[in-house]
Each structure stands twice: as C-alpha cells, then as structure tokens.
Structure 1
C-alpha cells in the first residue's frame, strides 16, 4: 500500500488521521453513552490478482448505531491457503487496533473498549484455528469475537471483499 486511506460511506475517502479525528468527534459528541471500537478484517481469494483484503473500523454507539470505515487492498503472497489468510487477517486487525489504542491513550480515550472481530467460528473450515487466533488477540490485550458475534469481519469487511 503506497498511500494509506480509508473509505467511509458517509464521509468519503479519509486518511488515518481523518478517521481518528472522526472517531473522536463521534465519541465525544455523546460521551454519556457507551462506545466500542471494533476492528475486523476479511479476505477473498482471487486468482487474477491474489487475495483481496478488507479491514474495517467500526465505532459503535451501543444501542444507537455507529459509523464505519474500511480499507481495501490486494496481496498476491496470500493465496488460496485459508489458514495463512486467516492469520494474516488477524495480524492486520491486531496491528490497526494497536495503532488506534495507542492514539486513543495519547488523547485521553484509553478507556474506549477496542474489540477485534475474527472471521472464524466453531463451525466450518476455520474451526481448527479458532483457539490459536483468539489466543493471539487476547494475549495482545484486546477482546476477541468469533462468529456469530464477529460482525465487524464477517459482515462489514466481508461486504467489500466481493
């Protein structure tokens, strides 16, 4: 990725800094409500240009909706090997969550809950690596969600891999 940017359906193309500022504005506009920051990545293998990865950032105002932003990129080094792609998805989400958590702490929002949604579940082809991926996320200090509760990866990010 040469120039990092995210897409917001309501705000258009944004830099990481603009996304961060928008998250802070959204959270601080109703500080009495509970907010959660959700990061999720999904991928789809494509023979013509490798795997398409989408990482989504969702700022959820519990009971009141939210906003989301996503970044789409291709990587030919992750082919049809599902296990490799799932570990890469988790590492992408973990990296972004770390960046956001650091910036949140620097700006007085260290208490904002950051959750990573994994596109794995107890049923299906990904079930063999659920514990490994969840352990990786929890061991890094973040909460992890798997299917059917991982809408950040399995619904929001998934929508843009097609």
Structure 2
C-alpha cells in the first residue's frame, strides 16, 4: 500500500508512519490530533476513493498523506458513504497493526465523514456516526470533517 505526500512523494505505510512520528517529535508539547477521512467521486468509468491521513498541529498547521483507489462505478450514495467510512476505519486498523498504535493512542484520533446536515446525506448521520463511535473513535461530520470534505476531496478528480 502506497501513500502520497505533497512534500515527500510516494511513501510506503512504514515510511508514512516514520514521517508522522518525526512531525510529532518536532514539537512534542504542541497539541496534535490525527485525522483520517475518505471522500469519493463517481464517473461513468469508475468511483475514485481518496483516503487522507492528516496530522494536525492545532493552531500551527498540518501534514497530510493520501491514497487513491479506483473501483467500479458506485452510483448509490448510501453505499458509497458506507464504503468511504469502511476505508477510513480499515486504515486505522492497518496503522495499528503496522506499529502506529502508540501514536494513535497518545493523540486524539478523529474519523472525518463527508456527510452533513444539508443535502441527501443527512439521513445517514445517526447510523454512520453510531458505527464509528461504536468501534471507539470520534466521528466528525460537516462542517468539522475537513479531512474528508477538504483534504481528501481535493484529490478525488
């Protein structure tokens, strides 16, 4: 599995974890939070999913990494939102398995979901947030879900 960093290029999961750890060590007294969010875009050819990992140094900027996946077109919005959430949660599990669990437990971890009170996705808020919180993570929705609705969204096309 490969991730892309705007500053460091293509990275393996292990390299990304090392970059994250180094960024956290640059200013260990600063407040940080780790954000994972996924967004998608569907065309007639495929649905592109982008999962972003954001290390936010609160009030002092952030670093981010992202991964793109293309799948057959998914036209059903509900199915796509569930898949986005599944990709974010799967990434957390992968990062834990790769040794990032100490970093994930030391700093607040948020799962950002590209749903909100406006539009078609508002009917999904209760069930998607319930799913994320039931597995032990903080769920953020629009307008607080910048990891999905801004960072990941930027790379879906």
TM-score category (smaller protein):
over 0.9
The separation in 2 between residues aligned to 1:67 and 1:151, in whole angstroms, is 13
CA RMSD of aligned residues (A): 1.3
Moved over 6 A (4+): none
The number of residues matched between the two structures is 156
The Cα shift of 1:35 comes to 0.7
**Is structure 2 residue 90 aligned with structure 1 residue 127?**
no
Q: Gaps (5+ residues) in structure 2? A: none
1:35 lines up with 2:32 in the alignment:
yes
Q: Aligned residue for 2:105?
A: 110
Q: Per residue, is there more helix in 1 or in 2?
A: 2
Alignment deviations for residues 96-142 of structure 1 (CA, whole Å, 9 cap, x no partner): 1233345333x466221111000000111101111110001000101
Give the whole-Å Cα distance in 2 for the aligned partners of 1:14 and 1:28: 19
TM-score by length of 1: 0.92
Q: Secondary structure at the match of 1:79?
A: coil
Partner of 2:52: 56
* CA deviation after TM superposition for structure 1 residue 8, in Å: 0.3
The reply on whether 1:142 has 2:108 as its aligned counterpart is: no
State yes or no: 1:9 paired with 2:6. Answer: yes
The structure 1 residue matched to 2:68, chosen from 62, 69, 72, is 72
